[in-house]
Amino acid sequence: MEPGILIIGIGYYVIAFLFAWHEGRKRTIGFIPALIVTWLIPLFGIFIVESFRLKTAGCKWCGNKYNEVEFCGLCGKNGAGELKPGWNK
């Protein structure tokens, strides 16, 4: 086996591990399943992991579970409870 191919292969598995560690823990899939998916399905596994929702999604002020942005679309508050500039509620 050529050393260049071996280095590329090891590099991919290291990058996939780091990606699963960083993104998998933030998403509903979790670290171990994200690691398995990224190792077993090269390149496309990253897109599969990215398709899972964030664990912290939702507004803690009004209960909007579909909120994934800084300011909630229903109540206009962010995580600290501050109103969105120009919000009239």
Question: pTM value?
Answer: 0.60
**Distance between CA 78 and CA 86 in Å, rounded?**
14
Of 55, 61, 85, 86, the residue nearest 74 (C-alpha): 61
Q: Are residues 31 and 61 in the same domain?
A: no
pLDDT per position as a tens digit, 37-85? 999 998 898 899 999 887 766 788 787 877 767 788 888 888 787 888 8
pLDDT per position as a tens digit, 14-45? 999 999 999 888 888 999 999 999 999 988 98
Q: Are residues 38 and 61 in the same domain?
A: no
From residue 61, give the alpha-carbon distance in Å to each of 53, 66, 72, 87: 19, 13, 9, 15
27 strand-pairing partners: 54
Domain count, the chain: 2
Q: Per-residue confidence at 89, pLDDT binned at 50, 70, 90? A: low
Q: Are residues 11 and 40 in the same domain?
A: yes
Q: Are residues 21 and 46 in the same domain?
A: yes
Q: Are residues 14 and 46 in the same domain?
A: yes
* pLDDT given for residue 36 in this prediction: 94
Give me the sign of the Cα torsion angle 44, 49, 52, 53.
Answer: negative
* pLDDT given for residue 57 in this prediction: 62
Q: Are residues 44 and 60 in the same domain?
A: no
Q: Are residues 61 and 79 in the same domain?
A: yes
Q: Are residues 35 and 72 in the same domain?
A: no
